[in-house]
């Protein structure tokens, strides 16, 4: 119960890694506040998080939504100890696609802008809203979701990789800027992880993911949640500006 009475915010907390992270912090006694655009799934997850947890429908790409959420949490709890910037989306596609010498497709501007808005601007919005609270209380931990593809790149993910590489940069900048206020900022880079979305993929693709992972299996959402839990704990009190890969040893492209 090392997080008893601590207030932990998890964006994208309705499902997948976000849900596992919310559950893990709740197990350790935290007052968990999750947000997501999926209200139905979010309220189902809330039932698992205990009587002091709460759910809010928030689009992290909207600064207005994020500020209202932060203000509401402060009215309810009076503090914010941990922010996990987990919310993210995919809209995959090649930069340009040629067939027989002709351009037959390309990533749309709409898909590029949407992924940037949620995965990168969303992290900026949430951190900028929460940081003043942590500064005033003299402590806090900010944890950002990047990805192994942010380190190594990946075919067909120009927009997603741009955001995850960008999050690594934000993490390092904020570790420098906020350290003086006793605020630590770190990021976790998951590899292939068996979320609900990934488990629904064809068996052939899943086997390929496992084959490219030296440990021979997909990660579980709880594996990533445990990394967040450690980085938020007092045991990690001298770790900031770090990018922790939780990927079973994978190197994209091998």
Q: Are 131 and 183 in contact (CB under 8 A)?
A: yes
Q: Whole-angstrom Cα distance, residue 118 to residue 121?
A: 6
Catalytic residue among 152, 160, 181, 228: 160
Q: Are 238 and 94 in contact (CB under 8 A)?
A: no
160 is catalytic: yes
Q: Whole-angstrom Cα distance, residue 142 to residue 154?
A: 26
- Annotate the chain with DSSP letters as a single string: -TTTT-EEEEETTTSHHHHHHHHHHHHTT-EEEEEES-HHHHHHHHTTS-TT-EEEE--TT-HHHHHHHHHHHHHHHS---EEEE-------B-SEEEETTEEEEE--HHHHHHHIIIIIIHHHHHHHHHHHHHHHHT-EEEEEE--HHHHH--TTBHHHHHHHHHHHHHHHHHHHHHGGGTEEEEEEEE-SB--HHHHTS-HHHHHHHHHTSTTSSPBPHHHHHHHHHHHHSGGGTT--S-EEEESTT--TT-
Q: Whole-angstrom Cα distance, residue 14 to residue 72?
A: 19
Residue numbers annotated as active site: 160
């Amino acid at each position: 119960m090392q997080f008893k009475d601590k207030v932990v915010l998890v964006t994208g907390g309705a499902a997948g890694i976000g849900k596992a992270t919310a559950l893990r912090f709740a197990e350790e006694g935290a007052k968990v506040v999750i947000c997501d655009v999926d209200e139905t799934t979010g309220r189902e997850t809330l039932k698992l998080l205990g009587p002091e947890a709460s759910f809010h429908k928030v689009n992290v790409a909207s600064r207005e939504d994020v500020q209202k959420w932060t203000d509401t949490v402060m009215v309810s709890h009076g503090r914010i100890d941990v922010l996990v910037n987990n919310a993210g989306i995919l809209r995959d596609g090649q930069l340009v696609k040629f067939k027989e010498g002709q351009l037959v497709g390309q990533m749309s501007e709409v898909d590029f802008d949407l992924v940037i808005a949620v995965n990168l601007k969303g992290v900026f919005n949430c951190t900028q809203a929460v940081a003043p609270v942590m500064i005033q209380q003299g402590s806090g931990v900010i944890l950002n979701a990047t990805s192994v593809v942010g380190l190594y790149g990946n075919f067909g993910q120009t927009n997603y990789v741009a955001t995850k590489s960008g999050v690594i940069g934000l993490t390092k900048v904020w570790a420098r800027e906020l350290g003086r206020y006793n605020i630590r900022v770190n990021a976790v880079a998951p590899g292939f992880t068996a979320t609900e979305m990934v488990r629904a993929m064809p068996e052939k693709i899943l086997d390929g993911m496992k084959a490219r992972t030296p440990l021979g299996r997909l990660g579980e959402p709880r594996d990533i949640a445990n990394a967040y839990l450690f980085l938020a704990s007092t045991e990690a009190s001298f770790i900031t500006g770090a990018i922790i890969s939780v990927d079973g040893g994978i190197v994209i492209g091998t």
